[in-house]
Structures are given as structure tokens and as C-alpha cells.
Structure 1
């Protein structure tokens, strides 16, 4: 391993605003260590060549990976594959400040043949998991402790901890973060267009968004926009919009003081019957049943 790079939140945020689809790094870096702290994480759609393994120390919000809308919360450990488009949308209403620790690397970070050695044959499973991204369901406390220990570790110690993290993920239960991956890498212009669409949707899901307005935002005709979005996400724009609304509703349902009707309105639904129907379509249970479970 050559060296590591440590970035604070401000440095990484500024660099990623200039190059929204690149991980900021200098030459001769094999394993990139990054710690993000602040009110929010970097909340623009982006992709990077490096595989990202991250632990959410504090914070919660919505995570879009590929074609799927997920939530994230404190204690989560996530794997995001190479060039897999994703965006973290922090819940600004949460009192928890966002804090994430990440490691970035590629299959060739440590040499073209490193992960091809017989000693690392099991790691092929990890790379397959990373293709669609995954969230770790078990061994989370052990993994979080390893991530926290990275901060004061030397470059060599970080490499050892990195291998321990990979090993634990391979032993753990996992769930896929995405079901569809657009095979072509986004160009900068295309990335900016999709980022604009995602950013607008995540910030205005509770208002009326019609096809013409979102198509105008993308500088496309409505028909062209529909084809464009579905080719890249394997779903219609309005399917995606409903999932964003439902994910917001899931977070609100954890607040026992809010009525279901209030949550329906805050999530951007015009009437509670439509909210109940769409919620069950997406989550498989009613909002009331979801609230009981959580």
C-alpha cells in the first residue's frame, strides 16, 4: 500500500462540488480514508470509480442507490460499488449531526494482481455484492468499532483494519441496495442532468411535480425525458417520486405524536386513501402496521 488520504468534511465537500463524480485524491494513493462531519452529507447525485465502504456513525436520511430509494441511520454499514450512482439526503429535521467514515479503493488499488491471488479468492463474493451495493445486517457493532479505530491508525494499521472489515462483511448477512444498475458510466453533462433531477425531487417531493415541469428542468421534451429516466433507472419518474415520498413517510411514522393523516400530507400525498394504497404497494404493509413494527 502506498499511502492514505485523510479529508475533513469541508475539504471533501468543496472538492466534490467542483468534480461531483470524482473522489478527491492526489497521486500514489491506494486506500483513501475519509471522514465527513456536519449538518448534512454530500447530497448531490454522484458516482466514483472507487468502491466505497462506509459506516454511519451519526445521522439519518434517504439514500438513493441506482434505481432504489433506501433509508440510512446511525450504525449502518454500507457498500457502494464502482461507478454506482448514489446520493445521501440527510434528514435536516433530525437533531443528530451527520458523521460518516468511509474507505475508498478499486480492484487495482494495491496492484493489478493483488485481489487475484489465491489467498483472496473469497473476496470475489465481496466484489459481486458491491455491484448493486449492499447494507450489512449483522456484525454491525463490530464493524462500527473497526471504522472508528481507523482515525488514529497508521497507514499500515489502516490496511490491516480494512482487510478485517472486508472479512467481517463477508461473514455478515447483507441486503442489496439496488436492483438495477445502468451499465454505462455517466458523462459529466449527463451526471449533472441526473443530479439536477434527483436534487429537485428530493427537495420538492411534497409539492405538485408534473411531467412537463420536471422535463423542462432536464431540458427535454416530456416523451424524451420519460425514455431517458427509465433507461437509467429501470422505472418511471413517478414510480421513483412515490418511493421518495414513502421513504419520508417511514421516517415520520416513527414519531408517535403525528397522525397518519398529517404524515400523508407531509409526505406529499393529496389524500389519505391514496397514501395508504401506495404505501402498501411499496412496503407490503399498511402505514399503521409499519408504525407498530417500529
Structure 2
């Protein structure tokens, strides 16, 4: 099986997740209730993975694609999100080969058991329950909520002790009180999360291969070979772990990249198509229309405020969370 692609004069170089299957293990610290840090991209802790802790995440620099459960979208500096326990996720930046984005991410992680104990002791924290429940499908924030939360996330990573905990609970309060129009649930109600080594291996190998060859020819047979699996076995595990077929993942990531090129460059539509892995303009227009709802030409003519939001890339149903 071949997924349509094209070689381009200027190849897109993508940093991808490490090839080994990964379930991130976050060791508890006896003197810290939460974990707060910044990290670079690429780094050894980046990649498709899941962990039992909640994760509040801030992108401080670069643009790229993110994958949460069965959702594929785009990100830019200032994106704020919260991922619930065991929800697989990954953020991949568009960077020239060899370049490192220092402190690309600011991350705050905490366990469900600990936050529930806090809520049991402090009744005022019950307002957090709705946002914690909704985070099981991933929440991405926008508007005033996002920029207010971004400032406090950085404060949490830079402080310690009582000052840090005060900032942490202020952050949760900002997220919990977010207006309905300033947050979106992104992933579908999908239970196929990668909990076994075969699923993780299929996704790691498949995503790495897609990101490294986004502008070229992509074949299911090659992805399966890289995962040391037969094509039917690879397809089964990839879909069970991501909620979509391998070819759908390729299409969504290519259209996400095309959309960024239309937003950030003056390239002709034909060049955008080629740089996104399409050598057939009719097919590119058809796929873009199916994903975004309008043609590439019509999309470029729109003002930023008129353009369809990134959530159009989600396969799953989305429902706003009532504050």
C-alpha cells in the first residue's frame, strides 16, 4: 500500500519520537507533591506516550503538529492544554535538522490520588472536578484563559515550596473557570489507548516514519517493516493505539502541515501541495476540502479570525465543558 507523496526541492525535516516503545514513568518525589519542569525539543522525554499522571502543558516556542488520542491538530507558541491520566499524546515541532528549541515546553504533572485527597480535605477545590474529568479526552485552552494560564504555568516551574503550591492551585482555578468558548475537548470518546508493547511499538515506528518522510512517498509496508510486523498486524495495532488507520494519520498530518504553510508563507498553492507530500493537485484540493471544509485557495483568502479552528482535524466528537 502506498500513501501518495512527492519529493520536493526543499525537504521538510521533522524531528520524530524515539523508535523504542515508551510509557513514561514519572518517579514520585517524597518532598514534592507535583512535578514542574521545562524541557527542550527534541529531547529523550518527547515522543508518543502516556502516563498515569495529569499533565498541564505549555508550548513556549515553535510551530508543529500535536496528536492526542485520535486527534491531530496544529500548535503554536502559547498553546495550553491538560491531558488526563493514560491519554497518549505527542507534540512535534517543525525544525531544521540539528536545531534544538530550548525550553520549548513547560510541564506540570500530578497524580489523581493526590489531587482527590486535596479535594476531600478542602471543599473549595470541588470546582476542579469538571475540568479533571474532561481532561480524560484532552482539553486545549484559548483566549484569555490560555495567556493567563501560561503566565502561571511558568510561575509554577520557577518557584518552590508554599509559593509554588499557591501558584499551582491558582492555575487549576483558571482552567476550571474557563468560559465554554475558551476550551475544547479534542479527543473522541475512544478506548483504544496503547497499553501494551505491540501497540506502542507500532505507533512509535509509524509516527517516526511519517514525520521523517512527510513530503515523500510513504508506504504501509515500510512502516510495518520498521515495527518488525506484518502489514495486517501493524495496521491492527496502529489503529487500536491511535483510533485511526495509518493512511488517515498520514493524510491528517499532511493537511495540518499544508494549513501551516498557507498561514505562514507566500508559497503558491501548487508548492504548498508538493511540500505537503501531494503531487496531484486535484487530490490535494479534495483532501484539504474534506479535512478543513473549504479549498486551499478559499482558506488562504480568509482573515485569521474567519479560518476554521484546528479542531477540524479531530475524528472524535467534541463537547464543550461547562465551567
Check if 1:148 corresponds to 2:151.
no
Counterpart CA distance in 1 for 2:291 and 2:133 is: 26
1:128 aligns with 2:133: yes
Aligned length, in residue pairs:
278
Q: Which stretches in structure 1 are left out of the alignment for 5+ residues?
A: 1-15
- Corresponding residue for residue 225 of structure 1: 234
Runs of 4+ in 1 over 3 A off after TM superposition: 16-20, 23-27, 37-43, 93-98, 180-185
Q: Tell me if 1:263 matches 2:272.
A: yes
Larger deviation, residues 154-163 vs 41-50 = 41-50
The match for 2:174 is 168
Alpha-carbon contact 1:39-1:92 (below 8 Å) kept:
no
Q: 1:20 to 1:185 in 2, by over 3 A?
A: closer
TM (norm. structure 2) is 0.78
Deviations along 1:166-201, whole A, 9 cap, x unmatched?
Answer: 111122221123124435552345423321211111
Q: Residue 64 of structure 1 aligns to a residue in which SS? A: strand
- Report how far residue 268 of structure 1 moved: 0.4
Report the RMSD for the aligned CA atoms in angstroms. 2.6
The structural deviation recorded for 1:18 is 9.0
Distance (whole Å) between structure 1 residues aligned to residue 198 and residue 189 of structure 2: 22
* Alpha-carbon shift at residue 231 of structure 1 (Å): 2.6
Please, what TM-score do these two structures have when normalized by structure 1? 0.85
Match of 1:83 in 2: 86
- The 10-residue stretch of structure 1 (211-220 or 164-173) with the greater mean CA deviation from structure 2: 211-220
Distance in 1 separating the partners of 2:163 and 2:174: 17
Change (3 A) 1:262 1:171: same
Q: Which runs of 5+ in 2 are unaligned?
A: 1-17, 305-323
1-side partners of 2:39 and 2:75: how far apart? 15
The structure with higher relative contact order (CA 8 Å, sep 6+) is: 2
Deviations 1:46-93 (A, max 9, x none): 111111101112222111111111111111111112111111111104
